[in-house]
Structure 1
Amino acid sequence: MFAKAIASFMMLASCAFGAPGKNVQIGAPHELVSNPSGQKVTSSEAFTSGAGNRDNSNIYDGTGNAGTDQYNCYYGGWENFPPKSEWIEFDAMWNYSKSAMSTSCSDLGIGSCSNGAGAFGSGDSGQQIGMIWNAIQQVAESSLVDHRFILATILQESSGCVNVCATTNPDPSQPDNPGLMQSDGGSTFVGNSASNSAQQTSITQMVIDGTQGTADGDGLVQCINQYGNVYETQAARCYNSGSVDSSDLNNGEGATNSYVNDIANRLTGWLYSNSNFDNC
């Protein structure tokens, strides 16, 4: 799950889409997860101030608007980042993201993963985008992770490209980071030529891998349960880095410094405008 950052790319009249990705974790994974598909949020605090959600069927949650497409700078600990009450509604976040997902694979660069391409096939088709919706809603319902947090992580990790290349771990004893959420040793997309049912199963599995964890490492659920009482921020840092500097969430500890800022901005409406993190 600790994939190196994919290069940022330009979209729609030279608007920069935020750079997704994580850095590879060196060493053992944070936590080995048994029975991943049965994992769910159990932290009571996560349902009041964190990324837990018992009603993901409500797609009109949040502020009731699409937020503002701008990048804001946040510093320090969790108390300085936007609380859950400031997240935009899932429906608006999803509809705003669909056009970005439709060009995500081509924008990453299609070719051979071993030669440095960002995606191994074209995508996303309208059907594949619909399958991502299905997967997010299914996994959110079973895991009790807020669907907005799952979507923000998908956009951050792969821009929503189903054919995204896995990140190769430089330590051959450790798993690579594949799929929509660049999970820890999870699954890669079955491919565009597979049947619709096989594609849906594959996409859902990629979301399970990143949300509920794999046999090789933790997902959003495990990070939320550990840091559930402090909004989404420490859970996001946990997912990206495997460890958390609670006094400075912009400290990637070898992973992506901007990761928590990026996630916080995605949850409040940022998508196309330039990231200002280097100037934060």
Structure 2
Amino acid sequence: MRDHMAPITPMSQQYFDRSSTEQMSKDQRVDPLTIGRLVPQQQNKGELIPKESPGQYVARMSHQHGHEVLPPASTPPEKSILALTEVKMGFTHYAGDASKFPPKNQWKSFDEIFSANKAEMGKTGDTPSDIDHIYAAVKECAKIGVEERVIFAIIMQESTGNVGVRTTVNADGHGTAGLMQCDGSPGFPGRHGLSQDEITSMVRAGTNHFKGNLKDFGNTDTAECIYKALREYNSGSVNEHDLSDGRGATPAYVSDVANRLLGRTN
């Protein structure tokens, strides 16, 4: 969930050419419509987030790759950043109210989304049985009243399906653990080859939490309700006029999950 993260000082000040997509990590995610300052990120994604100073563009990098900061530019690099996003990620950026995000009739089926992400899960160290257990856990926890594909899209956004993902601590001092990086979830950092019960316990904790978010917006199985609940799951509060307003969390969170629901991958 990784909400309410406080800013940190960049670990490095390595500059690079904004126009070059070759010098930027394939694991970097960039929000092309915002400019920003560096903040912590637990996933291997990148992000640009708002800052008062309009001259500086800062890319948030994977903790595996360190932090790299773009120097101030005389003109905003929206075009080159957008091109980089398309080349490296294949993700489309969505912003605005829920109607500006993809409708449910464009979402892929759960089996299609799951199959498209098997390779990514395997790269985390997951065993074939871990992957099978995730599938079964999602099926079981969907009985709580949350769509299978939404549960799985959150899992991929939060942990890339890594059953041994590390436990993090949010700004309130609470641990956010497990496949859905949820407050109060069990976690098994560094472990793989988990039992079905262990994996289901993580998915159940995150699904129960998200179910509460759905209830805050009418608890309906509609794209509008789901997108608003996703915003709250990540940031704790929602600007319904712009679901890419991160409120101090990850601006592109809802947009990223929407892309995953369309079958797009890392």
The alignment's TM-score, normalised by the length of structure 1, stands at 0.61
Alignment-mate amino acid for residue 222 of structure 1: G
**Whose Rg is larger?**
2
Alignment-mate amino acid for residue 128 of structure 2: G
Aligned to 2:170, the other structure's residue is in SS state coil
Match runs of 1:23-42 below 5 Å? none
Instruction: Give the whole-Å Cα distance in 2 for the aligned partners of 1:260 and 1:164.
Output: 21
- The match for 2:206 is 210
8 A Cα contact 2:133 2:199, kept in partner: yes
Match runs of 1:246-257 below 5 Å? 246-257=240-251
- The match for 2:235 is 241
Alignment-mate amino acid for residue 2 of structure 1: R
- The match for 1:268 is 262
Instruction: Give the whole-Å Cα distance in 2 for the aligned partners of 1:186 and 1:128.
Output: 18
Q: 1:97 aligns with which of 109, 117, 136?
A: 117
8 A Cα contact 1:166 1:176, kept in partner: yes
Per the TM alignment, residue 127 of structure 1 is displaced from its structure 2 partner at its CA by 0.6
Residue 225 and residue 192 in structure 1: after superposition, are their counterparts in 2 closer, same or farther (change >3 A)? same
8 A Cα contact 1:20 1:155, kept in partner: no
- The match for 2:164 is 163
Per the TM alignment, residue 20 of structure 1 is displaced from its structure 2 partner at its CA by 6.3
Instruction: Give the whole-Å Cα distance in 2 for the aligned partners of 1:193 and 1:168.
Output: 21
Per the TM alignment, residue 190 of structure 1 is displaced from its structure 2 partner at its CA by 7.9
Aligned to 1:265, the other structure's residue is in SS state helix
Match runs of 1:173-192 below 5 Å? 175-189=174-188, 192=191
Bigger RCO (CA 8 Å, 6+ sep): 1
- The match for 1:108 is none
Instruction: Give the whole-Å Cα distance in 1 for the aligned partners of 2:160 and 2:28.
Output: 8
- The match for 2:197 is 201
Instruction: Give the whole-Å Cα distance in 1 for the aligned partners of 2:28 and 2:150.
Output: 18
8 A Cα contact 2:127 2:192, kept in partner: no
Match runs of 1:48-67 below 5 Å? none
Per the TM alignment, residue 126 of structure 1 is displaced from its structure 2 partner at its CA by 0.4
Instruction: Give the whole-Å Cα distance in 1 for the aligned partners of 2:253 and 2:2.
Output: 11
For the aligned residues, what is the CA RMSD? 2.4
Task: Quote the sequence identity (%).
Answer: 38
Per the TM alignment, residue 204 of structure 1 is displaced from its structure 2 partner at its CA by 0.3
- The match for 1:81 is 101
Instruction: Describe the superposition over 1:21-44 as per-residue Cα deviations: whole angstroms up to 9, x where unpaired.
Output: 8xxxxxxxxxxxxxxxxxxxxxxx
Q: 1:224 aligns with which of 214, 231, 242?
A: 214
8 A Cα contact 1:84 1:231, kept in partner: no
8 A Cα contact 1:20 1:157, kept in partner: no
Alignment-mate amino acid for residue 181 of structure 2: Q
Instruction: Give the whole-Å Cα distance in 2 for the aligned partners of 1:186 and 1:163.
Output: 13
- The match for 1:259 is 253
Instruction: Give the whole-Å Cα distance in 2 for the aligned partners of 1:193 and 1:100.
Output: 15
Alignment-mate amino acid for residue 2 of structure 2: F
Instruction: Describe the superposition over 1:104-130 as per-residue Cα deviations: whole angstroms up to 9, x where unpaired.
Output: 2xxxxxxxxxxxxxxxxxx20001110
Residue 95 and residue 206 in structure 1: after superposition, are their counterparts in 2 closer, same or farther (change >3 A)? same
Q: 1:127 aligns with which of 126, 129, 132?
A: 129
Aligned to 1:232, the other structure's residue is in SS state helix
Unpaired segments of 5 or more residues in structure 2? 7-24, 30-42, 46-88
Residue 157 and residue 251 in structure 1: after superposition, are their counterparts in 2 closer, same or farther (change >3 A)? same
Instruction: Give the whole-Å Cα distance in 2 for the aligned partners of 1:231 and 1:223.
Output: 9
Instruction: Describe the superposition over 1:199-252 as per-residue Cα deviations: whole angstroms up to 9, x where unpaired.
Output: 21111000011001xxxxxx1111112224514211100110111000111111
Alignment-mate amino acid for residue 153 of structure 1: I
Q: Aligned residue pairs: how many? A: 187
Aligned to 2:250, the other structure's residue is in SS state coil
